[in-house]
Structure 1
Amino acid sequence: MILASGARPPSVTFVLLADEARDQTERFIRSVGASESSSVDFVIISSKAPQNLVAGNASVRLLKEDESLAEAVNAAVEASTSDFISVLRPTGVATTGALEVFATFVEEHPLAELIYTNEAVAGLGSDMEALNKPIFSPERLRCQFYFGDLVFYRRELFLRAGGLNPSRAGALLYDLALRSTRKSQAVELIGEQLFLRDRVPGGVTLLNDEALASTRAALTEHLEATGGGIVKSVDPRGVHDTRRLVVGEPLISIVIPTRGMYSVVDGERRCFVIDAVKSVMERSTYRSFELVLVIDSVADPKVVTELERLAGDQIRFVEWAKPFNFSDKVNLGVLHSHGEFVLLLNDDVDVISPDWLESLLSLAQLPGAGMVGGMLYYADETIQHAGHAYHEGDASHIGLDVPRGDRGPLDGYLVEREVVGVTAACAMMPRDVYFEVGGLSNLLPGNFNDVDLCMKTTWIGHDIYWTPHAELYHFESKTRDASVHTFEVNVAWGRWSFRMNDTRYWPYALSRPPR
């Protein structure tokens, strides 16, 4: 193989864990199609020598007595002179031209030290199911090993990270990925599908008890090394509940713009802001917060009285006497707040999870964090928001109208993760970041102000996160005009149309736009 530039392609050693997969091992080697290539070789780790080798550049390293699998792999890597190492169980095949795609990618990304790829899952006949992945997402990686089967490590990084850890049997490759990403941030995704995974019953190989124990140990070590956190649970399906921890007890300013009126909804007289404040006061386990309500001057006095009764000295009111402008109302509330963190919250929400504030705050405290959003549901138990995504010139909510409890693509509705944006119906920001980006734009009084806010936040280099552990109901359509004005589209897209195809963190199909 010669690259277009005439350069030598990177050399690769595939270390195949083949004890119980001899047929699959032969199949994988054939799929690589590199038997005559000096840039690729294979080391088969096995307790028994296979009867036939399918390629002249394949060798066998037999496990010695009392030698662990990890030790055998490490010895093979030590002996290798290749640029890259890929350790895998051959539970699938390389797709046609995979090595050529990999070599070209390395030439275009010469600093990359860890490279993973999109995959596909074999279906019936010639059908394949795409298994696309986000770009490197450190917070997501602590919740699931989404890198997949085919991962390439520069040999130097493999050794620098310490190789495979014999004490992590059952989770050797996940542990290696966690330690390697602590040693290098030069982690890249190849967008092409370079691996075709065999379909297994139930769609996933369940982790056994040994693997779960090793996973817990690896994640505990990783969290301790990356700012702290806890492993609440590990799951056989590979989706783990790990949480960052709140540092200290900083004040959160919950800013709620509201009309402060009663209305009749489904035949029932109710006031949404009263219900929202009641749920915050009664269900929140984190207590260091203030409520700043920007309330219309024509608000019902009985509403104010009831809110004061519910929240006592934790609430303050800011009068609003101008025409409706959501952005201006929120900005005014932030100016009257005192918290180190600001939480933008609509008046038509109902708190579900008691630790919702901790879940948001623990991510908002991460270095470089700009904004954090939560999981919002409609009253009919469908998802309203699991983050923003911007695809093909449009913007939408992730998970829109999907039934509550759905796992989502690549289990995306279950894990904390990086996103390109979140809705301002429930969004926490460090106070200094809110002011750094200039808050919400008053040129967008009703719609797309949160899209603009997210774009500004990431444009200057801050990260945005989403957590499934901050759960609320959001009765969006019940409290305001849902129409979208042409001028709002013109303003938002006039600023950001060049960034409205950002599939880095959510390369999946979307639904209708957010407001």
Structure 2
Amino acid sequence: MSKGSFRYYIDKISYKSKEPFQFIYFTGWCFHLSGKPVNFAVYINDQKVNAEIHRFDRKDVVKKYNETDGKDIGFIVRVSDIFRSVYEIKLVAQVHQEKMILSCLNRDQLNRLDDKSIFEYSIDLYQKMDNRKNGYVISGWAIALDKQEISFEVLDCNNKVIESSLQLSARKDLVARKFISQDQAICGFQIVFSGIENEHYSLKLSTETDEKIIPLNSEMQSILKYLQLMNVENVKKAYKFWQKYGSRKLIKRVFQSRDSSQSTIDYNEWAKKRDATEVELARQRNHKFSISPKMSLVVATFNTPIPYLKQMIETVINQTYYNWELCVADGSTNKEVVDYIQNKYSDEKRIKVVQLDKNYGIAGNMNEAIKIATGDFIGLYDHDDALAPNALFEFVKAINQNNDLKVIYSDEDKIDSEWTRRFEPHFKSDFNLDLLCTNNYICHLLFVKKELMEQVGYLKSEFDGAQDHDFVLRCVEKVKNNQIYHIPKVLYHWRIHENSTAGNPESKMYAFDAGVRACQAHFDRQNLHVKVSHGPTLGFYRNKYILDNYPLVSIIIPNKDHIDDLDRCLRSIANKSTYKNYEIIIVENNSTEKNTFDYYKQLEEANANIKVVYWEDEFNYSAINNYGVTFAKGEYILLLNNDTEVINPVWIEELLGFCMRKDVGAVGAKLYYPDDTIQHAGVIIGLGGVAGHCFSGLGRNEYGYFGRLICSQDLSAVTAACLMTKKSIFEEVHGLDETFKVAFNDIDYCLKLREKGYLVVFNPYVELYHYESKSRGFENTRSKAIRFQNEIDGFEAKWNQILKHGDPYYNVNFSRCGNGFTLKKNIEKEI
């Protein structure tokens, strides 16, 4: 809304006149174009009354209004002293002498608002789920003013209760805004149920003394959320549209606009907002570094089209960092490239060009360019690509922050041949050895210290097509991890045209065969018994470890009743596993059904490698697993949920192959829901708040962002629903932390391993179904929710640094919302 110099929106007004809970509150946002703070006052029957006022940031508003930074513009204004006879209530905003009535409610309006129930609530989301067939989700918060516990039920159109699952959570945001008290923090809810499209449903809140039925209307809920952030011009347009076409067409128009705004983000527009501005570029040109290394860009040209050549060179000349050289070795069939460079850039002494006596191939030509380079760092540059103007500045900035760096790489994107459209940004992981052995994710732009290049040797012609992959593997073998640095900025533009490898990968099959050989050579140098082959798609490789011995694996399976789940799990292990040297330790914890104990007896009588041990204390997932491990005889521990089912027969071999490496602490699996969608493909710290599974809900045959679903790779954590680790390492870090009784214990374990210097590996070729926590259930009671929140608080306190700085394997340009690997939205806080 807009009036004068005020911009505002009232999100919600809640009014209760029934004793003992008599109050009115307004919540929303308001700012003044002058930037000065806004004061609020409430008048009842034209008499000013005392009001509690709480302010907070509203960064979401910045997306629609660039006149504010969102700081302290959110408000809650509450009045508890309500007169018995009220005929008008006004909320007034004031900056100096300028006043604005934000809301004026007469008696009739107050009567319509008056909610005589004891409930305060908000439905924040009601919609169909993308990753669950016929699934619907309701989320929000609710409290009972008399502090009774609330029951939640979903009703169909006939007011019959339908089956649903409930998860409660703490709403610290409401506590911080003084909206609720600390003892009411466990008020957030998420309810999932199976529904029918276009059917009407309601949410029933009830206590022992009161109940309220809330109709659920996904269209109106979404429209209200959308309209809250519409700027004044759009509000005017909406009003005119409504006058001309009516409410039904307005709703349709709003949804079209909403769907468009929520679809895939336009990367071109997204990138423009994050590229260095002209002001920033000017500042960089005047900046003096304490360390100013010469940065040599080496290029091999071969019959390069002059327009491409010109753009490639110009993006170097336009760099904001000055101490560079461009070294070009030309193996063309004519002198057109050399003549053009010598004639066009004769005054630019930083450009060197040499005409080769013949075409020595990709690696050979690049080596000739390297020979004329005199820089401290050597950067590999393709003859038809381009640099961002701040590319070299960012690399030198990194060197100044850590002068021990020897390998530095950046993010990149693609650009069309006409130089009009940027697309497919590759936002990369920080250094990720196992990912690099699966795919050359480092690619462009790569700079290597000259002395390291001299040590490992130049590019090798026998790997032409994948010569850079072989080269970077040889480089990282010779340096420490802290000497490798990733700049999470798009500093390189890879041109796509019909002759480029990126645009037509099948045209250069030799390059992918060379990639297989490059990875194989790496493993051979490391004395690792690995067979490299092509993966599911070109440019991605599968690394299968060949076992030289077959150690005993102890499989630890906690169980409480649910013998059908357990039996399915055990039968899948016995019937599908090709690896035979294993034992199974079932940790019985607090089962109550006689059939369970009869089943245990039958298992032990029929299977010499199955043992049941008994945990007789309260449920504590960490303690139960730690207890089970004390009975393990194997060198390797495999933590496994009872609600899993083996899919591929070589799953144990695949886990062992990585886990037997000295540098690996744990290995995790790819897990599917029963409908063959992804349940787990690794854990991202910070995703969804604390930690979340990436790619959840994608199909089994999907590749994920830049193939991450089909790549063996290092991650910060994997789930203990299927996790292998060395018993020696498990004992070294004192097992699972028993303060995490239910949640985050596996993530905490993985982070403890990484703190010790071990890698945590996700292997997509270990596949199981996971029926997910059937034994435990959800945080559907207040006591469970409090326990869960305590574990969140404990995890955040213990691992605050990684939560603050971000997961090293998850690029900072990605959103921390949703299932991961989507572009960060403008309203999300930058790290």
Compute the TM-score of the two structures, normalised by the length of structure 1.
0.91
Aligned Cα RMSD in Å?
2.6
Aligned to 1:118: 411
Q: Distance in 1 between matches of 2:485 and 2:543?
A: 24
The answer to which structure, 1 or 2, has the higher relative contact order (CA under 8 A, 6+ apart) is 1
In the alignment, does 2:469 pair up with 1:174? yes
Change (3 A) 1:433 1:512: farther
Question: 1:8-67: CA deviations, max 9, x gaps?
Answer: 522122222221433322211101225995532231433232141243333333332474
Residues in 1 aligned to 2:405 and 2:672: alpha-carbon distance in whole angstroms: 40
- For residues 2-17 of structure 1, the aligned pairs below 5 Å read 4=287, 6-7=289-290, 9-17=292-300
> For residue 426 of structure 1, what is the aligned residue in structure 2?
722
* Correspondence for 1:380: 675
Alignment of 1:243-392 (within 5 A): 243-262=544-563, 271-296=564-589, 298=592, 300-308=596-604, 312-391=607-686
| One-letter amino acid of the structure 1 residue matched with residue 468 of structure 2 | L
Question: Is the contact made by 2:551 and 2:634 (CA closer than 8 Å) also made in structure 1?
Answer: yes
Match of 1:404 among 700, 711, 715: 700
Match for 1:221 among 517, 521, 525?
Answer: 521
The 1:446/1:235 distance shift into structure 2, 3 A limit, reads: closer
Please state how far the C-alpha of 1:499 moved relative to its aligned partner.
Answer: 2.2
Distance 1:148 1:66, change over 3 A: closer
Task: Return closer, same or farther for 1:503/1:90 CA change in 2, 3 Å cut-off.
Answer: farther
Does residue 1:206 correspond to 2:505, yes or no? yes
Q: Secondary structure at the match of 2:357?
A: coil
Answer with 85-94 or 280-289: which moved more.
Answer: 85-94
Matched, 1:21 2:304: yes
C-alpha displacement at 1:421, in angstroms?
0.6
Kindly state the Cα deviation for residue 374 of structure 1 after the two structures are TM-superposed. 0.7
Partner of 1:191: 488
Residues 380-389 or 321-330, more deviating: 321-330
For 2:511, the aligned partner's letter is A
Post-superposition offset of 1:352: 0.8
Q: Per the alignment, do residues 243 and 204 of structure 1 end up closer, same or farther by CA in structure 2, a change over 3 Å counting?
A: farther
Task: Determine the C-alpha separation between the residues in 1 that align with 2:602 and 2:810.
Answer: 42
How far residue 126 of structure 1 moved from its aligned partner, in angstroms, is 5.6
Whether 1:45 and 2:330 are equivalent positions in the alignment is: yes
Given that 2:639 and 2:720 are in contact with CA atoms closer than 8 Å, whether structure 1 keeps it comes out as yes
Q: 2:749 matched to which residue of 1? A: 453
Once the two structures are superposed, residues 97-138 of structure 1 have per-residue CA deviations (whole angstroms, 9 ceiling, x without a partner) of 212222212222211112111112337956544311111111
Deviation at 1:414, TM superposition (A): 0.7
Deviation at 1:3, TM superposition (A): 8.0
Superposition pairs for residues 55-70 of structure 1, below 5 Å? 55=345, 56=348, 57-65=350-358, 67-70=360-363
Deviates more, 1:43-52 or 1:97-106: 43-52
> What residue number does 1:162 align with?
457
- Classify the secondary structure of the residue corresponding to 2:546: coil
Secondary structure in 1 matching 2:696: coil
State how far apart, in whole Å, the 2-side matches of 1:334 and 1:125 are: 59
- TM-superposed CA distance for 1:477, in Å, is 4.2
The 2-side partners of 1:322 and 1:438 are apart by: 20
Q: Is the partner of 1:277 in helix, strand or coil?
A: helix
Question: Residues 382 and 204 (structure 1 numbering): CA distance in 2 closer, same or farther, change over 3 Å?
Answer: farther
Aligned to 2:430: 135
Aligned residue identity for 2:640: L
The answer for the alignment partner of 2:132 in structure 1 is none
- Alpha-carbon distance in 2 for matches of 1:357, 1:399: 23
What residue identity is the alignment partner of 1:258?
N
Corresponding residue for residue 382 of structure 2: 89
Identity %: 26
Greater shift in the superposed pair: 123-132 or 165-174 = 123-132
Tell me the secondary structure at the aligned position of residue 43 of structure 1: strand
Verify the 8 A CA contact 1:82 1:155 in the aligned structure 2. Answer: yes
| Aligned partner letter, 2:802 | R
Give 1:338 deviation, angstroms: 0.9
Structure-2 residue corresponding to 1:487: 790
Change over 3 Å in CA distance of 1:357–1:43 after alignment to 2: same
TM superposition shift of 1:7? 3.4
Equivalences, count: 505
Structure 1 distance, partners of 2:366, 2:772, is 55
TM-score, length of structure 2 as denominator length: 0.57
d(CA) in 1 for partners of 2:762, 2:424: 26
1:475 equivalent to 2:771? Answer yes
Name the stretch that deviates more: 252-261 or 38-47: 38-47
Deviations 1:130-182 (A, max 9, x none): 31111111111111000122211222222221201122222211111112222
CA distance in structure 2 between the aligned counterparts of 1:105 and 1:309, rounded to whole angstroms: 63
CA 1:175 to 1:379, structure 2 compared with 1: closer, same or farther past 3 Å? same
Change in CA separation of 1:239 and 1:200 when aligned onto 2, cut-off 3 Å? farther
- State the Cα deviation string for residues 194-225 of structure 1 (Å, max 9, x = none): 11223467965415232233222222211111
Counterparts of 2:358 and 2:386, CA distance in 1: 30
Kindly tell me: are residues 204 and 238 of structure 1, through their superposed partners in 2, closer, same or farther at Cα, counting changes over 3 Å?
A: farther
1:389 CA displacement: 0.7
Contact residue 647 and residue 767 of structure 2 kept, 8 A: yes
In the superposition, relative to structure 1, how do residues 213 and 495 fare at CA in structure 2: closer, same or farther (>3 Å)?
closer
Unpaired runs of 5+ residues, structure 1, are 263-270
Contact 1:260 1:304 in 2 (8 A): no
For residues 537 and 648 of structure 2, what CA distance do their matches in structure 1 show? 24
SS at match of 2:513: helix
Distance 1:294 1:20, change over 3 A: farther
Q: Which runs of 5+ in 2 are unaligned?
A: 1-283, 780-784, 821-831
Quote how far apart the aligned CAs of 1:510 are: 4.7
Structure 2 counterpart SS, 1:313: coil
Within 2, Cα distance between the matches of 1:205 and 1:505? 29
Whose radius of gyration is greater, 1 or 2? 2
SS at 1:174 equivalent: helix
Deviations 1:309-351 (A, max 9, x none): 76x1111110123332222211110011111111110000000
Comparing 90-99 with 333-342, which one deviates more in the overlay? 90-99
